[in-house]
Structure 1
Amino acid sequence: MSKTKKRVLIVDDSAAVRQVMSEIVNADDRMEVMATAGDPFQASERMQREVPDVIVLDIEMPRMDGLTFLRRLMAQRPIPVVVCSTLVGAGTKTLDAVVSAGAVEVIEKPTLGTRQKLLDSRIQIQDAILGAAHARVDRRKEFQVRANLSADAVLPPPSGRAMLKTTDKIVVIGASTGGTEALSRVLESLPAYAPPIVIVQHMPEAFTSAFAQRLNSVCKITVKEARDGDSVLRGHALIAPGGRHTLLTRSGANYRVEVRDGPLVHRHRPSVDVLFRSAARVAGANGVGFILTGMGNDGAHGLKEMLDTGATTYGQSEKSCVVYGMPAEAKKMGAVQTEVDLSEVAGIVAAVDR
């Protein structure tokens, strides 16, 4: 077995799912299947001989459910885990439970459908596994085929001037692997008078709604999944829906969001680059951009475009990231004015227009 590839252990009681997941993993030359197991007991036995870099875990299984296994694993031997289940959709308590238990990523099982849906599912799963394989689980506890297109495919580059001058400040945030926990920490710490916020967190369809609802129940600000035409208001945070791009627009001096279909950008839909580019176009120097923990380079170009139009830009520090990928790429491009620890972000956001 190659020493350079990430080793993946697949735990699912369905032989068919294990086969499909194995094909998806082995199709990417950066990782390979170490082993498969039909339940947590078989997985534990296999891990006594060899420890994987990441585990893909189902929830509903015989003898022991995946959630119990996940909790025991994180208590005894923390390993990055991607939960792949049909039980973690919108409105389910299981989604919150697996994230709280320590899952790095949550994805849906591949289903039969059109060729494009299968293609999207395959790349989504590969990205989630690779992102989890690079995650630092200890740091996470401490800090509580998609096309590789650019944002040009969805929105033209900014002209260098915002649509209109305004005194209104607006915050845009992009995150991926480790971002659900990072965003929870930030939003839960914000006061009710926080400036308007729009967020892209890489998540599948249906998951963003449940994520927003959970945050809304614990935050002082209002958190909701963005809908086309929503106003972006003080004391509100809009989260881009999974599977669709979210752009910032203007109606006079008022900010709104446009939610639209479009091609995958940097392997993602929604894309951070698309949101950031739209902020560069309509907010200019009144924009404040944050790029948080995540795998890949989505958001780096858009953050640079924001900076070039006068916006203030921040990147999460390496020591506070689960995966220092997206912030690192943005820093390399010169898009990050200031690096900050995750613990500092809420205070900066709260003081944006004070």
Structure 2
Amino acid sequence: MGAKLKVLIVDDSAFFRNRITAALSQADDIEIVGIAADGKEAIERARRLKPDVITMDVEMPVVDGISAVRKIMAETPTRILMFSALTKEGAKETLDALDAGAMDFLPKDMSNLGSGVEEANKQLLERVRAVGQSRLSSVRSVLGSHSHASRTFKLTPSSVTAGRKPELLAIGASTGGPVALRQVLSTLPRNYPLPIVVAVHMPGSFTGAYAERLNTVCSIKVKEATDRDMLIAGQCLIAPGGKQLKVERGPSQYQVRITDPLPGQIYHPSVDLMLSSVAESYRERALGVILTGMGADGLQGAKKLKLAGSSLWSQDQQSCVVYGMPQAVEKAGLSDRVVALDEIGPLLARIS
């Protein structure tokens, strides 16, 4: 076995520190190298202990978690996993932390992750490992959403997609997705000719605040999708967390349907479900993009999209926080193009 993953746990609650410690201590490949009770201690211990991963609370005394993330990323860049309250205010704070350089987040009430402590602990371990094994450069490269917008590409507009010009853009993502999606969408011009639908794995209390945040930093309009929203060029609809989003032909134009998840559906929103509905409704006239994410959600939907004749892109391994979802479609031979994150937005902007 290789070197253990070194973790620093930061939280002002002794109860929660003990809970995280108990969960991570079960793993032979993880070593807890330190504990901190506030952001000031976190900054000092990150500098001294040089952990591979930091689990970070948002609300803490002395120095809060967001300020600590900014300082750590400026001084000793480290993979940081935030713990967030499942509230609208908690969502905004978590988005601030992601903007500051945190890699991913989990709900602080871990009972939301599964049916019991064992399942919650399993998901925590999986997320810490995924963050710990990701390339730190994948986070640092996305800070400053517009930093790559001026890059030039040799590809001509006609070569952007493999087949005919798409009429819909559908994007799926999970771990690392909120930051990656922001970079992609912030590159698109106000008069973007395609409607956009997005499924990213986030809690229901987060997607509204996330859509509002994107709407302030993007030229295109971004909103959380509601049932029967029409698909409009230059508008991005974000699937609400805890729900399913499907695309269908409405009475006069295409629309989205928002429904409750069915029993047994692991992901809600599900990228598979969204892409499958796009394949049924748009056939060969769509472009799917699979961004960073753990697992393989999107693989089955991508197969249907390709069978219908549409194009599919996937994010490359080097720029992914977690190369799970993109790897699944690439290994299956479904990717028409494997693209670095900082190239996806500019290439999509060439579609006219």
8 A Cα contact 2:8 2:33, kept in partner: yes
- Structure 1 residues 139 and 15: CA distance shift in structure 2, 3 A: same
Q: Who is 2:158 aligned against?
A: none
Query: Offset of 1:351 from its aligned partner?
Result: 4.5
Query: Offset of 1:9 from its aligned partner?
Result: 2.3
* Cα distance in structure 1, aligned partners of 2:79 and 2:203: 19
* Cα distance in structure 1, aligned partners of 2:50 and 2:38: 16
Secondary structure at the residue paired with 2:81? strand
8 A Cα contact 1:263 1:269, kept in partner: no
8 A Cα contact 1:89 1:95, kept in partner: no
- Within the candidate set 173, 177, 180, 2:178 is matched to 180
* Cα distance in structure 1, aligned partners of 2:27 and 2:251: 47
* Cα distance in structure 2, aligned partners of 1:261 and 1:184: 26
Instruction: Give CA deviations for 1:96-126 in whole Å, capped at 9, x if unaligned.
Output: 4212211111332116689738677556544
Q: Who is 2:160 aligned against?
A: none
Q: Point out the more displaced range, 21-30 or 311-320.
A: 21-30
Q: What is the 5 A alignment of 1:106-255?
A: 106-110=105-109, 116=115, 125-144=124-143, 169-194=167-192, 195-252=194-251, 254-255=253-254
- Structure 1 residues 137 and 347: CA distance shift in structure 2, 3 A: same
- Structure 1 residues 346 and 258: CA distance shift in structure 2, 3 A: same
* Cα distance in structure 1, aligned partners of 2:334 and 2:279: 12
- Structure 1 residues 33 and 301: CA distance shift in structure 2, 3 A: farther
Percent of residue pairs bearing the same amino acid type:
37
Q: Does residue 89 of structure 2 align to residue 95 of structure 1?
A: no
When the two chains are superposed, the root-mean-square deviation of aligned CA atoms in Å is 3.1
Secondary structure at the residue paired with 1:172? strand
Instruction: Give CA deviations for 1:166-196 in whole Å, capped at 9, x if unaligned.
Output: x971111011222222211221121223201
* Cα distance in structure 1, aligned partners of 2:131 and 2:233: 34
Secondary structure at the residue paired with 2:289? strand
Letter in 1 for 2:207: T
* Cα distance in structure 1, aligned partners of 2:125 and 2:310: 34
TM-score computed with the length of structure 1 as normaliser: 0.81
- Structure 1 residues 137 and 111: CA distance shift in structure 2, 3 A: closer
* Cα distance in structure 2, aligned partners of 1:267 and 1:3: 32
8 A Cα contact 2:135 2:318, kept in partner: no
Letter in 2 for 1:238: L
Query: Offset of 1:10 from its aligned partner?
Result: 1.7
Q: Point out the more displaced range, 14-23 or 221-230.
A: 14-23
8 A Cα contact 2:175 2:293, kept in partner: yes
Which blocks of at least 5 consecutive residues in structure 2 are unaligned?
A: 144-164
- Structure 1 residues 74 and 48: CA distance shift in structure 2, 3 A: closer
